[in-house]
Amino acid sequence: MTYHYPQLRRAITDDTRNGVLQDFPEISQIIDADIRDGVVEAWSQALCCSDFERITDIPPDGNPGAPVLKSGTQADHVRGVFRYTSIIAREFEQTYPQVNIDWTVLLAGAACHDVGKPYEFDPTNRKRWAEAPAAAGQPTFRHSVFGMYICLIAGLPEEVAHIAVGHSFEGNHMGVSAECMIVRQADHGWWHVAGALGLVEEQTMGGLASNLRSRSLSRSTPTRTGTA
Protein backbone atom coordinates (compact mmCIF):
# COMPACT_ATOMS: atom_id res chain seq x y z
CA MET A 1 0.00 0.00 0.00
CA THR A 2 1.29 3.45 -0.86
CA TYR A 3 0.33 6.15 1.59
CA HIS A 4 -0.25 9.73 0.54
CA TYR A 5 0.07 12.85 2.62
CA PRO A 6 -1.41 16.21 1.69
CA GLN A 7 1.61 18.45 1.54
CA LEU A 8 2.98 21.47 -0.23
CA ARG A 9 4.31 20.78 -3.74
CA ARG A 10 5.98 24.18 -3.72
CA ALA A 11 6.58 26.91 -1.15
CA ILE A 12 3.92 29.51 -0.47
CA THR A 13 5.32 32.89 -1.52
CA ASP A 14 4.05 36.45 -1.66
CA ASP A 15 3.47 35.87 -5.38
CA THR A 16 1.07 33.09 -4.40
CA ARG A 17 -0.77 35.35 -1.95
CA ASN A 18 -0.87 38.27 -4.39
CA GLY A 19 -2.25 35.96 -7.07
CA VAL A 20 -5.06 34.91 -4.74
CA LEU A 21 -6.01 38.53 -4.09
CA GLN A 22 -5.78 39.45 -7.77
CA ASP A 23 -8.01 36.54 -8.79
CA PHE A 24 -10.40 36.98 -5.85
CA PRO A 25 -10.34 40.70 -4.91
CA GLU A 26 -13.57 40.45 -2.87
CA ILE A 27 -11.51 38.83 -0.09
CA SER A 28 -10.42 42.38 0.82
CA GLN A 29 -14.01 43.08 1.95
CA ILE A 30 -13.42 40.90 5.03
CA ILE A 31 -12.86 43.51 7.73
CA ASP A 32 -11.08 41.37 10.35
CA ALA A 33 -7.41 41.40 9.31
CA ASP A 34 -6.51 38.05 10.94
CA ILE A 35 -9.44 36.27 9.30
CA ARG A 36 -8.78 37.97 5.97
CA ASP A 37 -5.14 36.91 6.07
CA GLY A 38 -6.28 33.41 7.03
CA VAL A 39 -8.49 33.24 3.94
CA VAL A 40 -5.57 34.25 1.71
CA GLU A 41 -3.37 31.70 3.47
CA ALA A 42 -5.99 28.98 3.05
CA TRP A 43 -6.26 29.52 -0.71
CA SER A 44 -2.46 29.77 -0.98
CA GLN A 45 -2.02 26.52 0.95
CA ALA A 46 -4.63 24.75 -1.17
CA LEU A 47 -3.08 25.93 -4.44
CA CYS A 48 0.45 24.99 -3.38
CA CYS A 49 -0.75 21.48 -2.43
CA SER A 50 -1.85 21.12 -6.08
CA ASP A 51 -0.51 21.67 -9.58
CA PHE A 52 -2.64 24.83 -9.96
CA GLU A 53 -0.79 28.13 -9.71
CA ARG A 54 -3.84 30.39 -9.58
CA ILE A 55 -7.57 30.19 -8.83
CA THR A 56 -8.08 31.21 -12.46
CA ASP A 57 -6.26 28.04 -13.53
CA ILE A 58 -8.94 25.81 -11.98
CA PRO A 59 -11.81 24.71 -14.24
CA PRO A 60 -15.09 26.41 -13.32
CA ASP A 61 -17.00 23.21 -12.52
CA GLY A 62 -19.12 22.48 -9.44
CA ASN A 63 -17.55 19.05 -9.15
CA PRO A 64 -15.08 17.62 -11.65
CA GLY A 65 -17.24 16.84 -14.68
CA ALA A 66 -20.61 18.07 -13.39
CA PRO A 67 -21.97 20.66 -13.50
CA VAL A 68 -19.59 22.11 -16.09
CA LEU A 69 -19.67 25.79 -17.02
CA LYS A 70 -19.33 26.52 -20.74
CA SER A 71 -16.76 29.25 -20.14
CA GLY A 72 -14.75 31.03 -17.49
CA THR A 73 -12.72 29.83 -14.53
CA GLN A 74 -13.29 28.86 -10.92
CA ALA A 75 -12.68 32.49 -9.97
CA ASP A 76 -15.93 33.50 -11.71
CA HIS A 77 -17.84 31.03 -9.56
CA VAL A 78 -16.29 31.75 -6.17
CA ARG A 79 -16.46 35.52 -6.70
CA GLY A 80 -20.09 35.19 -7.77
CA VAL A 81 -21.02 33.15 -4.72
CA PHE A 82 -19.23 35.64 -2.45
CA ARG A 83 -21.22 38.56 -3.92
CA TYR A 84 -24.46 36.56 -3.99
CA THR A 85 -23.98 35.67 -0.30
CA SER A 86 -23.66 39.37 0.55
CA ILE A 87 -26.82 40.23 -1.35
CA ILE A 88 -28.88 37.55 0.44
CA ALA A 89 -27.62 38.54 3.89
CA ARG A 90 -28.08 42.27 3.27
CA GLU A 91 -31.63 41.73 2.02
CA PHE A 92 -32.67 39.96 5.23
CA GLU A 93 -30.76 42.35 7.47
CA GLN A 94 -32.40 45.39 5.90
CA THR A 95 -35.93 43.97 6.02
CA TYR A 96 -35.52 42.31 9.44
CA PRO A 97 -33.01 44.37 11.46
CA GLN A 98 -33.54 42.05 14.43
CA VAL A 99 -31.58 39.21 12.77
CA ASN A 100 -28.01 38.47 13.82
CA ILE A 101 -25.47 37.68 11.12
CA ASP A 102 -21.74 37.32 11.79
CA TRP A 103 -20.43 39.03 8.67
CA THR A 104 -16.84 38.00 9.27
CA VAL A 105 -17.77 34.32 9.42
CA LEU A 106 -20.23 34.75 6.55
CA LEU A 107 -17.79 36.38 4.14
CA ALA A 108 -14.82 34.22 5.13
CA GLY A 109 -17.01 31.15 4.71
CA ALA A 110 -18.22 32.33 1.31
CA ALA A 111 -14.62 33.02 0.28
CA CYS A 112 -13.48 29.57 1.46
CA HIS A 113 -16.47 27.40 0.58
CA ASP A 114 -14.63 25.92 -2.43
CA VAL A 115 -11.08 26.23 -1.11
CA GLY A 116 -10.75 22.44 -1.35
CA LYS A 117 -11.20 22.45 -5.12
CA PRO A 118 -7.49 22.69 -6.00
CA TYR A 119 -7.16 19.27 -4.33
CA GLU A 120 -10.23 17.59 -5.83
CA PHE A 121 -9.61 19.05 -9.31
CA ASP A 122 -5.85 18.49 -9.30
CA PRO A 123 -4.90 16.48 -12.42
CA THR A 124 -2.28 14.43 -10.58
CA ASN A 125 -4.72 13.44 -7.83
CA ARG A 126 -7.49 12.68 -10.33
CA LYS A 127 -5.18 10.46 -12.40
CA ARG A 128 -4.14 8.55 -9.28
CA TRP A 129 -7.73 8.08 -8.15
CA ALA A 130 -8.88 6.98 -11.61
CA GLU A 131 -6.10 4.38 -11.86
CA ALA A 132 -6.97 2.74 -8.53
CA PRO A 133 -10.38 3.92 -7.30
CA ALA A 134 -10.55 1.32 -4.53
CA ALA A 135 -7.08 2.10 -3.21
CA ALA A 136 -7.80 5.38 -1.44
CA GLY A 137 -11.21 6.40 -2.79
CA GLN A 138 -12.20 8.48 -5.81
CA PRO A 139 -11.77 11.14 -4.63
CA THR A 140 -10.14 10.45 -1.30
CA PHE A 141 -11.87 13.60 -0.05
CA ARG A 142 -14.41 15.78 -1.79
CA HIS A 143 -13.50 19.46 -1.99
CA SER A 144 -15.85 20.30 0.88
CA VAL A 145 -14.04 17.93 3.25
CA PHE A 146 -10.55 18.87 2.12
CA GLY A 147 -11.63 22.52 2.32
CA MET A 148 -12.51 22.05 5.99
CA TYR A 149 -9.03 20.66 6.61
CA ILE A 150 -7.40 23.55 4.76
CA CYS A 151 -9.39 26.13 6.75
CA LEU A 152 -8.35 24.58 10.04
CA ILE A 153 -4.64 24.31 9.25
CA ALA A 154 -4.70 27.90 7.94
CA GLY A 155 -5.79 28.97 11.43
CA LEU A 156 -9.35 29.90 10.52
CA PRO A 157 -12.06 29.34 13.14
CA GLU A 158 -14.28 26.27 13.23
CA GLU A 159 -17.22 28.45 12.14
CA VAL A 160 -15.51 29.08 8.80
CA ALA A 161 -14.36 25.47 8.35
CA HIS A 162 -17.95 24.43 9.10
CA ILE A 163 -19.13 26.40 6.07
CA ALA A 164 -16.54 24.75 3.83
CA VAL A 165 -17.67 21.26 4.84
CA GLY A 166 -21.36 22.09 5.13
CA HIS A 167 -21.91 24.07 1.93
CA SER A 168 -22.39 20.96 -0.22
CA PHE A 169 -23.86 17.46 0.18
CA GLU A 170 -22.10 16.91 3.51
CA GLY A 171 -24.31 19.63 4.95
CA ASN A 172 -27.36 17.41 4.37
CA HIS A 173 -26.13 15.19 7.21
CA MET A 174 -25.60 17.80 9.91
CA GLY A 175 -27.20 20.83 11.42
CA VAL A 176 -25.73 23.90 9.73
CA SER A 177 -25.14 27.40 11.07
CA ALA A 178 -27.14 30.37 9.81
CA GLU A 179 -24.10 31.64 7.92
CA CYS A 180 -23.55 28.19 6.38
CA MET A 181 -27.18 28.08 5.26
CA ILE A 182 -26.81 31.47 3.51
CA VAL A 183 -23.66 30.33 1.68
CA ARG A 184 -25.36 27.02 0.72
CA GLN A 185 -28.28 28.90 -0.78
CA ALA A 186 -25.96 31.29 -2.60
CA ASP A 187 -23.88 28.41 -3.99
CA HIS A 188 -26.78 26.17 -5.00
CA GLY A 189 -28.78 29.14 -6.28
CA TRP A 190 -25.81 30.28 -8.33
CA TRP A 191 -25.56 26.90 -10.06
CA HIS A 192 -29.29 26.63 -10.74
CA VAL A 193 -29.53 30.14 -12.18
CA ALA A 194 -26.41 29.51 -14.27
CA GLY A 195 -28.07 26.34 -15.58
CA ALA A 196 -31.37 28.07 -16.34
CA LEU A 197 -29.60 30.84 -18.23
CA GLY A 198 -27.73 28.41 -20.46
CA LEU A 199 -24.28 28.83 -18.93
CA VAL A 200 -23.89 25.15 -17.98
CA GLU A 201 -23.29 22.23 -20.35
CA GLU A 202 -26.73 20.59 -20.44
CA GLN A 203 -25.45 17.00 -20.30
CA THR A 204 -23.71 17.81 -17.00
CA MET A 205 -26.77 19.15 -15.15
CA GLY A 206 -27.96 15.79 -13.76
CA GLY A 207 -27.09 16.78 -10.21
CA LEU A 208 -29.17 19.96 -10.40
CA ALA A 209 -32.95 20.19 -9.95
CA SER A 210 -35.00 17.94 -12.25
CA ASN A 211 -37.30 20.82 -13.21
CA LEU A 212 -34.40 22.85 -14.55
CA ARG A 213 -34.59 23.77 -18.24
CA SER A 214 -31.73 25.52 -19.99
CA ARG A 215 -32.34 28.61 -22.13
CA SER A 216 -30.19 29.30 -25.18
CA LEU A 217 -27.59 32.03 -24.96
CA SER A 218 -28.39 35.04 -27.12
CA ARG A 219 -24.97 35.67 -28.51
CA SER A 220 -21.83 33.69 -29.10
CA THR A 221 -19.59 33.36 -26.10
CA PRO A 222 -16.09 31.98 -25.77
CA THR A 223 -16.00 28.40 -24.50
CA ARG A 224 -13.24 25.98 -23.61
CA THR A 225 -13.36 24.48 -27.08
CA GLY A 226 -14.31 27.46 -29.29
CA THR A 227 -17.51 29.47 -29.33
CA ALA A 228 -21.11 28.60 -28.52
Residue 120 found at the interface with Fe ion (CB under 5 A): no
Q: How far apart are CA 109 and CA 103, in angstroms?
A: 9
Q: Which of 61, 114, 120, 201 binds Fe ion (CB under 5 A)?
A: 114
Q: Which is nearer to Fe ion, 16 or 85 (CB)?
A: 85
* β-bridge partners, 96: none
Shortest Å distance, C-beta 20 to Fe ion: 16
Q: Which of 20, 187, 201, 205 binds Fe ion (CB under 5 A)?
A: 187
Instruction: Name 181's Cβ contacts closer than 8 Å, sequence gap at least 6.
Output: none
Q: Which is nearer to Fe ion, 122 or 187 (CB)?
A: 187
Q: Which range of residues in 20-28, 49-57, 108-116, 219-227 is near Fe ion by CB under 5 A? A: 108-116
Q: Which range of residues in 28-36, 41-49, 66-74, 186-194 is near Fe ion by CB under 5 A? A: 186-194
Q: Which range of residues in 6-14, 106-114, 144-152, 197-205 is near Fe ion by CB under 5 A? A: 106-114
Q: Which range of residues in 11-19, 95-103, 112-120, 129-137 is near Fe ion by CB under 5 A? A: 112-120
Size of the site for Fe ion (CB under 5 A): 2
- From the number of C-beta atoms within 10 Å of its C-beta (0-12, 13-18, 19+), residue 164 rates as buried
Secondary structure letter of residue 9 according to DSSP = S
- From the number of C-beta atoms within 10 Å of its C-beta (0-12, 13-18, 19+), residue 181 rates as middle
Residue 61 found at the interface with Fe ion (CB under 5 A): no
Q: How far apart are CA 214 and CA 144, in angstroms?
A: 27
Q: Which is nearer to Fe ion, 26 or 114 (CB)?
A: 114
Question: Is residue 142 helix, strand or coil?
Answer: coil
Query: In this structure, are residues 207 and 219 in contact, taking their beta carbons and an 8 Å threshold?
Result: no
- Judged by the rule CB under 5 A, the positions of this chain that interact with Fe ion are 114, 187
